[in-house]
Structure 1
């Protein structure tokens, strides 16, 4: 009997373990809050990015600005500040002062997006709020900003590491995929930098 009991316990234990693995090894709701900030940023960023792409795919080709966001003077000034800083960064990507200006401008840009989103946490933000915020920040000027940030980062640029932890998550949610710097450029000699720019202009 004792042997049969032991066999039964082993069988039940094995069944429970297999079932747990089959369900993807869930560990309860509390563990989701313990994910590293970087992982949460990546997850939230992909969700925001998907919403931006969906809006772009469903929208017709952009014509003259008609979005209500274009009439918001505060957001428009923030957009222009980011575009100006990104343009300056492309001209002088190795300048610490210009880099600091771009970082500050992007912090304000992400803060404006977060304010429009009006969610305490991205993980619990409704699809409707995500879409409304994505539409607000999908104007022709917003698209120019993203394109210019990419161009600036081809010659040096910035990454999420240039932001403090307090700002890394909101900036990463909105622009993380565009912040792919080329740190090797600033380590080149002045002559090689000119050659890189010359070849880049020809492409």
Structure 2
């Protein structure tokens, strides 16, 4: 008999809870969820951004090579023209920056610190096309002209410029056009 009273009491409590729940419109409380501001791993996102940047640079690498070749040839033919010099500096800066992106090595004081052989080999293979060989020859001819020094290039690429400039890249300022201006001014007196 005691069980019957227990079952009646449980049925009464259950029906009371059900009716009051229905009277409130069947609300369901959801616990507080932690706020998520970003999805995914930040490291994976950084790798994806780096890969996209690398693909963009590699697509435009032929354009960068062609512009650098044209600018190097133009500066070699006309070293006194400041526009040619600036075009050469800008184009070669873009080319060396593409090299740095392809190399993808950690840098300390603008020098690659720890770089694996695989990364170095991949960068060398990427920058060993026939157009790169022609560009290397044109850059060597341009650096044979006085008037351009390593100080003309941004600090961030100067170490890598030694790979492309070699021993012909001068450390200090050498005026190239001043003697020509003096001799031509002397002729008209």
CA RMSD of aligned residues (A): 2.7
Superposition TM-score, scaled by structure 2 size: 0.56
Displacement of 1:179: 4.4
The one of 165, 177, 186 aligned to 2:166: 177
Q: How does 1:1-203 map to 2 (within 5 A)?
A: 72-121=58-107, 122-172=112-162, 174-177=163-166, 179-181=168-170, 183=174, 185-189=176-180
* Normalised TM-score (structure 1): 0.52
- Secondary structure in structure 2 of the residue aligned to 1:125: coil
How many residue pairs were aligned?
A: 122
More helix by share: 1
Q: Is the 8 A contact 1:94 1:156 kept in 2?
A: no
| Cα drift, residue 158 of structure 1 | 2.0
Q: Which stretch has the larger CA shift, 174-183 or 161-170?
A: 174-183
Q: Which has the higher Rg, Structure 1 or Structure 2?
A: 2
In structure 2, what is the Cα distance between the partners aligned to 1:108 and 1:178?
A: 21
Counterparts of 2:157 and 2:74, CA distance in 1 = 22
Aligned-pair CA distance for 1:80:
0.2
The answer to which structure, 1 or 2, has the higher relative contact order (CA under 8 A, 6+ apart) is: 1
Q: In the aligned structure 2, how far is the partner of 1:160 from the partner of 1:127?
A: 27
